[in-house]
Amino acid sequence: VFAGLTASCWAGWLRGDATATLLLPFAHWLLAAHTCHDATHGSLSSLPWVNYWLQFSAHPIFFNVFVWIPQHLFSHHQYTNDVLLDVDVHHFAPA
C-alpha cells in the first residue's frame, strides 16, 4: 500500500501535479518508516536480497543507507542512550 502511494506520488510529481508533490514527502515517510527501517535491520524478509534492495526505499528523500547503517545500527544499537557514544541522542540538541 505504502509503495503504491509513494509510486503514485512520484508519478504525479513527474507530471507536475501539485497535490502529488505535496503528498510525496508524507507518502515516502510512510514507506520509509516501515519498509526501509525493517529492511536495514534485516527483519523485513527472511530473504537477505529482499532486505538489501528494500533498504533503498528511503532514497532520496529521507536518508542515505550508507550513512544510516554506520550511524543507526552501529552507533545507536550498540550504545543506546549512551550520551557519549549514541549519535541518535544528539539529533535534536542545539548546535
DSSP, residue by residue, 20-52: HHHHHHHHHHHHIIIIIHHHHTT-S-SSHHHHH
pTM score over 0.85: no
What's CA 68's distance to the chain center, in Å?
9
Q: What is the pLDDT along the chain (95 residues), one digit of tens a residue?
A: 777 888 899 899 999 999 999 998 888 888 777 888 888 889 999 999 999 998 887 776 677 888 888 888 888 888 988 988 888 888 777 76
- First-to-last C-alpha distance (Å) of the chain: 38
